[in-house]
Amino acid sequence: MPEKLLNITACTLSPLGDSAIVITFGNGMEYSIHKKIKLLMDLLEDEPFAGFIECVPAFTNLTVFYDPLVVYKDQKQSKNTEISPYEAVRSIMEMKLQDIKETKKLSHRTVSIPVCYGKEYGPDLEYVARYNDLTTDEVIHIHSNGEYLAYMIGFAPGFPFLGGMSEEIATPRRSSPRMTIPTGAVGIAGMQTGVYPISTPGGWQLIGQTPSKLFLPNVNPPSLLRAGDIVKFHPISDQEYKEMILKEGLQ
């Protein structure tokens, strides 16, 4: 059976300033869109073009950053200076897109994150349970037995937007956001779940807290999670949480 190639006519390419291009694959948080984004990102990182800086994945698109001066110099060496750096990069992206085979399987790294649910660690756990006509134990069971795909990292350094949560525990954001969310807070917003890597304002429903550090400023990349990771949560006790926090502090 011939390999299915990506239909590039279904993609939209547009400039972002003078040093980036956005490739949009659709709309909505869907695995099929995520797969195309990840395949292109992997291809660019494995086979970067002259002037390539980095690419940043989002729910529906991939933003590719480049150095226009390096692109221009590369075009000049090729005796092709009739087009702008953006047009040159756009042409490169179109060729890269033609190389993507949709039948290729993605490899996903699995990351396990411990969570202490409820009480002072998850002040909104009872609300999430009442909203969905469940017990708090049922919410914990459903949340900790799911497998979540990290579609993107953003909003705050290391913050993962995780899809794949059960509709049984989906809960709208708070009507009034909190001014301060503690580091490691695990929350729910609609059909998504996520973890606050730093203390920041936020409106997600907080159901627990993890001692794991998601923002790692001294590591490259400075994030525990990356787009494409599979995340699994597992419950821990209050005592285990405190012991892990103490251990983290001593490292």
For residue 249, name the pLDDT band (cuts at 50, 70, 90).
low
Domain ends where: 77, 99, 121? 99
Mean pLDDT confidence for 17-21: 96
For 64-84, what is each residue's pLDDT tens digit? 999 999 999 998 887 776 789
pLDDT of residue 8: 54
Average pLDDT, rounded, for the chain: 92
The residue range of the domain holding 244 is 110-250
CATH number of the domain within which 225 lies: 2.40.100.10
Domain count, the chain: 2
Say if residue 22 is in the same domain as residue 138: no
pLDDT of residue 82: 78
Three-state SS sequence of the chain: CCCCECCHHHCEEEECCCCEEEEECCCCCCHHHHHHHHHHHHHHHHCCCCCEEEEEECCCEEEEEECHHHHHHHHHHCCCCCCCHHHHHHHHHHHHHHHCECCCCCCCCEEEEEEEECHHHCCCHHHHHHHCCCCHHHHHHHHHCCCEEEEEECCCCCCEEEECCCHHHCECCCCCCEEEECCCEEEEEECEEEECCCCEEECCEEEEECCCCCECCCCCCCECCCCCCEEEEEECCHHHHHHHHHHHHHC
Say if residue 126 is in the same domain as residue 90: no
Say if residue 119 is in the same domain as residue 198: yes
Residue 95 domain-assigned? yes
Domain ends where: 69, 99, 129? 99
Say if residue 166 is in the same domain as residue 240: yes
pLDDT of residue 155: 84
pLDDT of residue 16: 96
Residue 193 domain-assigned? yes
pLDDT of residue 250: 47
Domain ends where: 73, 99, 125? 99
For 204-241, what is each residue's pLDDT tens digit? 999 999 999 999 999 888 999 999 999 999 999 999 99
Confidence check: pLDDT of 107 > 70: yes
Residue 104 domain-assigned? no
104 versus 43: which is more confidently predicted?
43
Say if residue 26 is in the same domain as residue 117: no
CATH number of the domain within which 43 lies: 3.30.1360.40
Residue 1 domain-assigned? no
